Amino acid sequence: MEYSDPVQEMTPVGGATPRVVILDDHRLLAAALAAALEVVGFVVDTPELTDPDRVLSALEGDPPQVALLDLDLGVFGSGESLLGGLVSMGARVLVVSGTSDEAAVGRCVAAGAWGWVPKSEALDDLVTAIESTAAGRGQLDEAQRDRLIGVWRTEREAAERALAPFARLSRRESEVLAGLAEGRSVERIAAESFVSETTVRTQVRAILTKLGVNSQLEAVATVARAGWRPPT
């Protein structure tokens, strides 16, 4: 993911009434925020959250100047799935989320988010932050942006290091490890694969060597810690 600096790339909204779109599955909060923004002169839209492509397609015909994006959209999924499309259509994306995951926020900032305001902020403060965004004033100074992006990059690098040993596994070894992680025994894996138990045990030994662990239990724990998923 390339670093993007929206403060440098975007210019303030012109004289037209700014349009704000609220992308949040908490309908009560969205309604309260919409009412507060309309009082101070914004045009507000709270689209139905279906799938990302449909939401973005509906907004492309009349892109908002500001998009308020929650990162946790419940059954809809992650708000990050909308971020790239919103930035591409020229919206200033302000992350308004209850998350305390600074790495996730840093990832959004690196992808072009204008800023971040915690949901815990008072309603008046949220409105002020949105007015500032619409006027072209960033919500994060350079030091804050660099720190958040640094948190994300550090976490990403740690995740890459944790996943590196899994790249040494053959396709069959990955399948066997996935079976172990799902709680299947060597005997069951062998039966389901129509091979001998000896063959599977040989594959298990190779897995342990490549992952640098001493037991199947350690291998499964390593899978959980690294968040590894078998290749499709």
Distance between CA atoms of residues 197 and 187, nearest Å = 6
Can you list the domains of the chain with their CATH numbers? 6-157 (3.40.50.2300), 169-226 (1.10.10.10)
Distance between CA atoms of residues 93 and 39, nearest Å = 21
The DSSP string of 110-163 is HTT--EEEETTS-HHHHHHHHHHHHTT--SS-HHHHHHHHHHHHHHHHHHHHHH
Give, as one character, the DSSP assignment of residue 17. P
Instruction: Determine the number of helices (DSSP H) and then strands (DSSP E) in the chain.
Output: 11, 5
What pLDDT was estimated at residue 98? Answer: 84
Report the b/e string of 114-130 with b at 16+ CB within 10 A. bbbbebeeeeeebbebb
Per-residue pLDDT tens, the chain, 232 aa: give them. Answer: 444 444 433 344 445 678 999 999 888 889 999 999 999 999 999 988 877 888 899 898 889 999 999 998 888 888 999 999 999 999 999 999 888 889 999 999 999 999 999 988 899 999 999 999 999 887 888 999 999 999 999 999 999 999 999 999 999 999 999 999 999 999 999 999 999 999 999 999 999 999 999 999 999 999 999 999 998 7
Query: pLDDT (tens digit, 9 = 90+) per residue, 80-132?
Result: 999 999 999 999 999 998 888 899 999 999 999 999 999 888 999 999 999 99
Query: pLDDT (tens digit, 9 = 90+) per residue, 34-49?
Result: 999 999 999 999 988 8
Is residue 79 classed as helix, strand or coil in its secondary structure?
A: coil
This prediction's pTM: 0.74
Distance between CA atoms of residues 145 and 114, nearest Å = 10
Give the Cβ contact number of residue 156 at 10 Å.
15
Distance between CA atoms of residues 15 and 28, nearest Å = 30
Distance between CA atoms of residues 172 and 50, nearest Å = 38
Amino acid at 124: D
Amino acid at 162: A
Residue 194's beta-bridge partner residues? none
Residue 4's beta-bridge partner residues? none
